Structure 1
Amino acid sequence: MKQIVILGSTGSIGRQALQVVDQFAGEIRPVALAAGRNRDLLLQQVLKYKPQLVSLSSEEDARWLRDKITGIKGIDIHFGREGLMAAASLPGADTVLTAISGAVGLEPTVAAIISGKNIALANKETLVAAGRLVTKLAREHGVKILPVDSEHSAVWQCLNGEDPSALARILLTASGGPFRNTDAALMAGITPAMALNHPNWQMGPKITVDSATLMNKGLEVIEARWLFDVPYDNINVVIHPQSIIHSMVEFIDGSVMAQMGVPDMKLPIKYALFYPKRQAGDVTRLKWPICDLTFEEPDLGRFPSLALAYQAGRTGGTMPAVMNAANEIAVAAFLENKVGFTSIPRIVEEVMSKHNPVSYNSIEEVLAMDSWSRTTAIESLTRFLL
């Protein structure tokens, strides 16, 4: 039986991963669950799956959980950074699903790699902040990085069995989010409630806002560069509002291969967890014929976050980590109604302009730049407060 660790078990990806586990209970088992502050949902998960190890963000919540499961033996309860690291490196686990949002996922992902676990990667910030180092560690420790994002899973599936040298370019599709057709003059009035109303996908708040600004697609461009070793000039973003084609690959002979499916994250989750085997299970299938599949160029004038991500990726070094951290601060401020929607990329751009990127050779160096960026972004917020 495959044994998995889920970092972020109470989030959108974590919950859907457990739905996959329910479909294949005899073949896969969660041996460790790590969550943030949603202790009530984590308690339900612990009672149902009885993992070996559980972790929450705070010591108070860990004590609360310990009191709630006093009748269940054999469950280790941890909290904070140490808890994430313990879950990520749990002996006996085969695969670690990293479904935590943000740069906090970087350290446990590295710990899992060093412990010899395959990584089902749903935390794109890990490769954005430290892609060169993380992929190098994966090669050195002989582990696989199995993409869970629907776009990268699509590229991965299209490339299976193909000669890597035959790849010409990657076409990452994006729905365009809820403001694809919004007039530029109205963008400043967008509220968090409006931004969280994604037309196609059900996701956590941070990634949903990133999808609305197109920063999410920018992060995916950087992630694709490291996952598939493709230059930025050969990674294009295409707006595809229907979210039926999840991404495409163009080969040197002009052929284009696409992966299609309903917009359901359980499909790429299942593919990553059971790779190389495909599982049937309870699936929603496309209804044929499919009509009106449309494609557009992204509007970088209305969505400058995508351009900032390309800029950070091409600059390299510590710039992507700085961009990512500044964006996390700006998005959090927007969700708290402190800054406007159009201020998010302006804050990120201001922080990037103050940074002199350098090469890095350790996670500690990346985390130091991440910390600098967050401090600088918080200082910048004062000029954009509503």
Structure 2
Amino acid sequence: MVREGEAVFNRPVRIVLALALVWAGLSAGGLDAHASGGGMNAAFHRTWARTDRPVAEGQANRTWMWGPGPFSNVLFEEYDEGSEGGFRVVQYFDKTRMEITDTTADPVNPWYVTNGLLAKELITGQLQLGHNRFWQGPPAMVNVAGDLNDPNGPTYATFNALMGHQPLPLGWTIIQTVDRAGNVGANQSLASFGVTAATFVPETNHTVASVFWEFMNSAGPVYENGQHVEARLFENPFYATGFPLTEAYWTRIRVGGVQRWVLVQVFERRVLTYTPDNPEGWKVEAGNVGRHYYAWRYEHLSKQPAPLPNGYQPPPDPAWQCDPAYPDACIPSPPPDLRCAEIPYRRFQVLPPDPQGFDRDQDGVGCEG
């Protein structure tokens, strides 16, 4: 797991090794016991690779948007409009949950894979089970950032009461603070960091802090069509985060045992943090909302995912050009080079020349493990 503030930015080799171990765990049964199906959905992998493969390979010096790899298997979760019989296909990462509500939709559309409104559910306590159906639980008493055992750090429940606060005027320097109890104050010394209210979002009546707005509109190395290229991280700046649910607040939290000033803003899908004394590239980070939500849903609320039907295989990804060496599955020719843990197929026919190397024992069957 990647902790907020953890110094992962100087260890690209270790990250790649950890990534390989995480993916290996997908096919080796090494993931959480709640998981109900192995493998990594092809569309999830493509979405992950675009922003996070460059981080894993040391090509980009920035926060993970998803995490080093999934920590759960593929799950079915109840959702009324889900195309899989009232369920949708999901998988959990440190930073969020990837989900496909309609598996019959156009997979080339960037909204084919979405990341859930997890932060919204955590601060409202409303577990969403359909477009218009919710189960009301308690807002999560889980720290939004920093050390989870910090007794003074603000929680998702802290931010529940801040959703209705009025937006800051555009251009105002952000010096407002919040503590765990939800008390809002001001600290003039924080003006030295120069963070301002950058843009107003009418849909939720909140502004976005300048450091976060800059990140949401930034460009850098991404992985597309089998190669690293320079491009915008998100075609739509709200794709990964959703709209802001609160204003941005400074707070004192403990990160790795050290108290720091951290700017926190809760969006529908993510929590973004800004730590001024972090190294360049890691000042803005995405919180571990996926981890927090998973614990809230499956441990605190004791919900359970639905079991995958026997023999279930995720539908092939039509965005891939299917290589004829794999007639029973839709798997592309390299690049990218794929491993069994990265595709949704098991025990499929393999014909020479097996460009992806799935048939290691050359018995004509791929990914038998």
Q: Comparing both structures, which one devotes a greater share of its residues to strand?
A: 2
Normalised to the residue count of structure 2, the TM-score between the two structures is 0.23
Q: Comparing both structures, which one devotes a greater share of its residues to helix?
A: 1
Relative contact order (C-alpha < 8 Å, sep 6+): which is higher?
A: 2
Normalised to the residue count of structure 1, the TM-score between the two structures is 0.22
